[in-house]
Every structure is written in C-alpha cells, then in structure tokens.
Amino acid sequence: MNSPRTTLYRDKQNAKMLGVCAGIADYTGINAFWVRLAALMLIPMTGFVVPLYFIAGVLLNKKPAELYGDEQQDKYWQGVRQSPKRTTREIRARFRDIDRRLAGVEHHYVTNNQRLSAEIERLR
C-alpha cells in the first residue's frame, strides 16, 4: 500500500511532545491516551522505549493537514490499515446491497410500464 493515507505519521496537531504516540493512535484507531499510557508503562520495563520514541520522532514525517476530508474518511482509512480484506468485503457488501435495491427499483418501474420493459429488453 503506497497511499499516503496508509502511512504512519507524527501527528503534531494532537501531540504532547513530538507527536509519535498521537500518530500511532491515529494509525491504529486507538485512543491517544491509551497509547501514551502504554508507552509510559513500558519505560520502566524496557530501557529502549525512550530512544525509540525520539528516533521515531526524527524519522517519521509530519502528518499532512489535508490528509482526511472528514471524520468518516478518517475511520475508513483506519479500517483499511487494520484489515484491508475486511474493508473490501464491506465495500463489496455495500455494492451488492445497492445493486439489489436498484434491481428492485427497476423491477417496480418495468412491471408498471410495458413500453419501458420492452425498451430494456431490447437493450439487453
């Protein structure tokens, strides 16, 4: 996935320090509070969390301000990052539902309009 929407960024808009935890939270869809709490809890257990945080702060690009249009797009792309297969299944299901509903509309108009029915049959 080469899309800029599936890349891990530092989130400076919601940052406390460098924006690494906020970026991880945005990427995974987890609340930033829980990511920060997990990072703080890992500091005494492992000595490499702080250097990794600063390395990530230097290496990660800043999140573009216009990355998502709205909250719905943000949630969609988080779903794509978490499970692309599930997201494609959901999109296919939506299209199948739209197709089913359109077939219902077509059936309604065709059964009531013989001229339209003949026109559609001629196009097939």
Query: What confidence score (pLDDT) does residue 1 get?
Result: 47
Residue 56's alpha-carbon distances to 20, 40, 53, 85, 111, in angstroms, are 7, 16, 5, 28, 63
Residues of the chain predicted below pLDDT 50: 1
Q: Domain segments of the chain: what residues?
A: 1-82, 83-124
Round to whole Å and give the CA distance between 39 and 52.
11
Q: Which helix (H) or strand (E) holds 104?
A: helix 84-112
Query: What confidence score (pLDDT) does residue 67 get?
Result: 66
Query: What confidence score (pLDDT) does residue 100 get?
Result: 92
The Cα angle at residue 123 between residues 120 and 113, in degrees rounded to 5: 15
Query: What confidence score (pLDDT) does residue 96 get?
Result: 93
Beta-bridge mates of residue 10: 62
Query: What confidence score (pLDDT) does residue 122 get?
Result: 87
Provide the token pair at 74.
Answer: 């943000």
- Measured in whole angstroms, the distance separating CA 14 from the mean position of its chain's CA atoms is 18
Long-range contacts formed by 64-70: CB under 8 A, 24+ apart: 64/4, 64/9, 65/13, 67/4, 67/5, 67/9, 68/5
Round to whole Å and give the CA distance between 78 and 75.
5
